[in-house]
Amino acid sequence: MSAPVSTVEESLTLGRMMGLIARRWRQILDVRLRPHDLTDATWQPLLELQRYGRPMHPKEIAEALLLDKSSMVRILRTLEEKGFITREPDEADRRAFYVQITPEGARRLDEVLRFSRAIEQTVTDGIDAEELAITRRVIARIHSRLNGPGLD
C-alpha cells in the first residue's frame, strides 16, 4: 500500500521535488521534440541565443545553461550540422567564434516554445492564477538565491 500523496509530498525536500518536476517536464517535452530533430539539451542554446538577441560565444551559452565546455561543444556541433546555428569568426580574437541562430533554428525554437507552453497550460489547468503568480515569484527568489554568494 502506498502512502497518501500529501505524506509523500511533505517528505520530499523542495530541491528534490523541483528536480523531479523538471525531469518529468523534460521527458514529456523530449517526446514532442523528437519529430522536430531536437532534444531538451539541443533546444536550450537556441533559447539563449534568442533571449540575448545577438551572436554569443559558446562560453557565454555554456555559463547561462550551467554546462561544461565539452558538453557545449558537442551540442553546438549537432545544432550546426542540423542547420540551426552558424559559427562566425570573432574579428577581435582569431581563436574564438560567435554562434548565431539561423532562421530554421528560430522556427524550430518557436515550435518548442509552443509545446512548452501547452505542457504548462495542461499541468497548471485548474490552479488559481494568484497561486501560480505566487509560485512563480517564490521560484524566482529561490533561483536568485541559488545563484547568489555562499552556496558554492
Question: What distance in Å separates the CA atoms of residue 98 and residue 57, rounded to the nearest whole number?
Answer: 5
pLDDT per residue over 1-23, tens digit each? Answer: 555 556 666 778 999 999 999 99
pLDDT value for 49: 97
Q: What are phi and psi of 38, to 5 degrees?
A: -130, 165
pLDDT per residue over 33-65, tens digit each? Answer: 999 889 989 999 999 999 999 999 999 999 999
The Cα angle at residue 113 between residues 107 and 119, in degrees rounded to 5: 145
Question: What distance in Å separates the CA atoms of residue 132 and residue 120, rounded to the nearest whole number?
Answer: 11
Sorted by sequence, the CB contacts under 8 Å of residue 26 that are 6+ apart come out as 40
User: pTM score > 0.85 for this model?
Assistant: no
pLDDT value for 7: 61
